[in-house]
Chains A and B, each alone.
Chain A
Amino acid sequence: MAQTDRPLSPHLGIYRWQVQMVSSILHRATGIALAAGTLLVAAGLLTLAAGPAPFAGFVAFCASPLGLMLLLGWTWALSYHLLNGVRHLLQDAGLGYAAAAFVRNSWLTVIGSLLLTILVWAWALPGGGA
């Protein structure tokens, strides 16, 4: 940090809120949440390997109010991170970089993630397809 008087990169106080920022921030936030969620996946597999009693404890935690709340959150986080990840991969391939397409695709990932979450929970809840 030799020079402190050079311009800083534009930050929240400089830019107006727009969907491009939201999609970028959400991608990181959901990524961090999903990184924490890896521990639940590990817990599920470890208890399944350990036997019926430990696995019953894992299932009971998932079915508890806290467990269901976390699972709902992780469902949306995964839906969003997945769809927005596809958008990023397509952009890495050079597609959808025009501002109009960028804005439209950002909205598509936000709305699509909500639809995907509803779809998964409609399947998961009692009376659904599962």
Chain B
Amino acid sequence: MSDSMRTPLARVRGLGSAQAGVGHWWQQRLTALALLGLGLWFVVLTLDLLRAGYVSAHAALAQPLNALLMIAFTAVMFRHAQLGLQVVIEDYVHTRWLALALQIVIKFLAVLGALACALAVLRIALGS
């Protein structure tokens, strides 16, 4: 072997995994499972409040259980969206700097979106 001067560790660092393992795959499945329940809850709540008007919608989201589930739903939703878009970019965007820039922008936007939704629900639930 031509690179026999290199240690096994150096070799495996160059050729081995990124140490991420199945983390992404597993998180995508777990968030999917959570969204199965939370997503259906969200659709039913939305249909329920469709013509409710501002006051009723505000009161409904101010209820502790709804507030909790809405924060959970939006947080998991943004994470699942980011995980999915990450794979799409990895598969189809072949310009290195553009792919990296998109990954960073989408991650930042997902975190901002989740925080904004949580803050909005807290303002509704805690009243300020």
Contact = CB atoms under 8 A, between A and B. Distances in A.
Contact of B61 (A28, A48, A92, A120): A48
Contacts of A46: 116-117, 120
Interface residues of A, number: 27
B99 interface: no
B54 A55 contact: yes
Contacts of B119: 49
Nearest to A85: B32
A45 B84 contact: no
A46 B113 CA distance: 10
B88 A56 contact: no
Interface of A is mostly: helix
Interface in A43-63: 45-46, 48-49, 52, 55-56
Contacts of A92: 29
Contact of A31 (B33, B84, B121): B84
Contact of B84 (A35, A39, A86, A89): A35
A38 B77 contact: yes
A124 B47 contact: yes
Contact of A32 (B58, B88, B124): B88
A28 B86 CA distance: 11
The size class of the interface chain B forms with chain A is 20 to 34
Given A34-B81, A89-B32, A78 B117 contact: no
Contacts of B116: 42, 45-46
Contact of A86 (B36, B61, B81, B121): B36
B90 to A, nearest CB: 12
B51 interface: yes
Nearest to A53: B54
7 contacts: A42-B116, A48-B120, A85-B32, A85-B36, A86-B36, A120-B47, A123-B47
Given A39-B113, A85-B35, A86-B36, 12 more contacts: A28-B84, A31-B81, A31-B88, A32-B84, A35-B85, A41-B77, A45-B61, A49-B121, A52-B54, A78-B39, A85-B36, A130-B48
